[in-house]
Structure 1
Amino acid sequence: MAKVWRRDGQETWVLVHVEIQAGYEAEFAERMFVYYYRLFDRYRLPLASLAVLADEQPQWRPNRYTRHLWECEVALSFPVVKLLDYEPRLAELETAANPFALATAAHLLAQATRHDAHQRFISKLSLTRRLYQRGWDRQ
């Protein structure tokens, strides 16, 4: 739940549902819809859903769920962030101050070094040093 200000200056409360999916799931869009309507049914507040896809399949980008029978239809469209899309910007992510950029870099490096334990260790060590250099502590 977040308090936001509309363009007219009025404050309002909204629910933000972020779903992080690490692998392909055939029914993912349906699950997004189910979570959306459960949140809406319970809280009756404005609601936005976002999918963060951390899988390794470049073409898999579910962003819509529809269901219809006769003249009745229900649909949910939601934005998708595909972490693989940030791979060309890995160097930029590794040096960014934004913690989400560093988390994305860590994920991409983990995928890239999945079969190379030594390189994975070097990547982890490098990212950890960057965190300490920026003043982050162990916690």
Structure 2
Amino acid sequence: MQQELFKEIIEHRQGRKIADQIAKVHLKSGKEQWILVHTEIQAGDEVHFAKRMFEYFYRIRDRYGKKIVAIAIFTDKGTKSTNRYHEKYYGTELMYTFNKFVVSDFDEEELKKSTKLLSKALLASLYLNRTKNEMSLRSAYKRTLLREVWSLENVEKTEVNALLYFIDYLLKLPRAMTEQLIRDVKVEIKGEEEMLHQYKGGLPPTLAGVLELERQEGIELGIERGMKQIIFGLFEKGAEDEWIAEVSKLPVTKIKEIRKELK
């Protein structure tokens, strides 16, 4: 719903490129009641945040005339932002209260036990805050979380794929650690490679890296096998190891290893 409303309510927010979400949902009871869920993703304190939440509320209410569930999700445990907006002036008084969640308040062990996709997204956010200066620990968390997500059953692959992308980009790692993570994941999914082809619309970076690594290793293996066949032929013609090493640009020790392999 946000596309038609954003021009009206966030033009004053200069420089913000990631939009808050406004969506239609259904109640668990199945009751046919249309509500708007307004979600705010906040990383830290913002001056007049509660007032802005109220402004969103009355603009949405005025436009659609529907019941609104407003939720503010804070990813920074140190936030001091309130979930209330109070205004009083000469006998006129207004109190607006909205739902406020701080990611760090969720129980980590309960999140780990949960099979819901949201629990894994919350864990990723917890790990992000915990590992700001500990990339090795972040890599370990990321590997575990990726495994848990792609192992989830009875979940739409498009949803799993979206969450894998989220984790990949949220828990960013230095290049060397990313390459090591890809190698580790490749070993971990050995025998499950068909899983990579279940994701339509493109693989998330880590799994795409695994597929590319397999392709590169396949090419290198093919080149190595072809080179060995040529060297075997030179052995049969009586060529010396030193000469073969010179023309093949390989170390003499490698040529000797191949000769032993042939024997």
Q: Give the structure-1-normalised TM-score.
A: 0.84
Of the two, which has the highest radius of gyration? 2
Per-residue CA deviations over 1:17-52 (Å, capped at 9, x if unaligned) read 121211111211111101111101111111121111
CA RMSD, 1 decimal = 2.2
Aligned length: 134
Return the alpha-carbon distance in structure 2 between the equivalents of residues 11 and 134 of structure 1.
30
In the alignment, structure 1 segments of 5+ residues that lack a partner are none
Aligned partners of 1:13 and 1:45 also within 8 Å: yes
Which residue in the other structure is 2:7 paired with? none
The alpha-carbon deviation at position 13 of structure 1 amounts to 1.3
1:91 to partner: Cα distance: 3.0
Spell out, residue by residue over 1:42-63, the C-alpha distance to the aligned partner (whole angstroms, 9 max, x if none).
11111121111211216x2511
Instruction: Output the TM-score relative to the length of structure 2.
Output: 0.47
Q: Report the counterpart of residue 71 of structure 2 in structure 1.
A: 50
Q: Given that residues 5 and 11 in structure 1 are in contact (C-alpha distance below 8 angstroms), is that contact kept between their aligned partners in structure 2?
A: no
Contact 1:49 1:78 in 2 (8 A): yes
Superposed, which structure 2 residues align to 1:1-139 within 5 Å? 1-4=24-27, 11-57=32-78, 60-86=80-106, 89-135=107-153, 136-137=160-161, 138=203
Structure with more strand by fraction: 1
Q: Is the 8 A contact 1:61 1:80 kept in 2?
A: no
Mean Cα deviation higher: 106-115 or 20-29: 20-29
Structure with higher RCO (Cα < 8 A, 6+ apart): 1
Once the 2 structures are TM-superposed, how far is the Cα of residue 10 of structure 1 from its aligned partner? 5.7
Following TM superposition, by how much is the alpha carbon of 1:94 offset from its aligned partner in structure 2, in angstroms?
Answer: 2.6
Q: What stretches of structure 2 of length at least 5 have no aligned partner?
A: 1-23, 154-159, 162-202, 205-263
Contact 1:66 1:74 in 2 (8 A): yes
Contact 2:37 2:68 in 1 (8 A): yes
- Cα distance, 1:5–1:119 mapped onto 2, change above 3 Å: closer
Please state which structure has a larger fraction of its residues in helix.
Answer: 2
Q: Which amino acid is 1:74 matched to?
A: L
Give the fraction of aligned pairs with identical amino acids, expressed as a percent.
31
